[in-house]
């Protein structure tokens, strides 16, 4: 009887330890976030209104690069990648307070097309440039996001 109790106690302790350990997906997300933070990009969990499905919100990670104090962005607003099931899948400007000039708009489109497929929104405001991402990519995608964030800042 004592042996059964000891075995059950060990199983209970090991089961609790396994429950606390991160899953492979969570480990990958931690690697992506560590990589981003090493580049100077802050990562925050966010909810953002879904333009394709009004009233619904998407949960995602916001990868943010703070703007320098001496630089104010010439483009401000929120740009969404439309859901291909609902539309043509192109980027669409939403909530813009300052529309880009024609040359800037073309350059911005080229930059946005470089982002990974699961990046669905980019927000440019005075404090920071943000990319909203579902984090289903690799570490090389973090480098791409960082370079796009920097390029948008320089516009």
Q: How do residues 21-64 score in pLDDT, each as one tens digit?
A: 888 888 999 999 999 999 999 999 999 887 777 888 888 899 99
Q: How confident is the model at residue 77 (pLDDT cuts 50, 70, 90)?
A: confident
Using the structure block, give the residue that is written with the tokens 């580049």. 39
Cβ neighbours, 10 Å, residue 23: 8
| Structure tokens given for 12 | 């209970």
Rg of the chain (C-alpha set): 21
Predicted TM-score (pTM) of the model is 0.77
| Structure tokens given for 3 | 């042996």
Cβ neighbours of residue 133 under 8 Å, at least 6 residues apart? 60, 61, 62, 63, 116, 118, 119, 120, 145
């Amino acid at each position: 009887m004592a042996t059964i109790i000891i075995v059950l106690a060990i199983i209970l302790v090991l089961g609790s330890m396994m429950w606390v350990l991160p899953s492979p997906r969570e480990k990958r997300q931690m690697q992506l976030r560590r990589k981003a933070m090493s580049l100077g990009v802050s990562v925050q969990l966010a909810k953002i209104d879904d333009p394709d499905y009004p009233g619904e919100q998407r949960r995602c990670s916001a990868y943010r690069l703070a703007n320098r104090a001496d630089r104010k962005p010439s483009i401000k607003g929120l740009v969404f990648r439309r859901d291909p099931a609902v539309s043509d899948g192109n980027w669409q400007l939403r909530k813009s307070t300052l529309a880009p000039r024609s040359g800037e708009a073309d350059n911005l489109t080229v930059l946005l097309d470089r982002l990974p497929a699961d990046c669905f929104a980019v927000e440019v405001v005075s404090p920071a440039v943000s990319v909203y991402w579902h984090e289903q990519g690799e570490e090389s995608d973090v480098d791409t996001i960082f370079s796009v964030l920097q390029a948008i800042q320089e516009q």
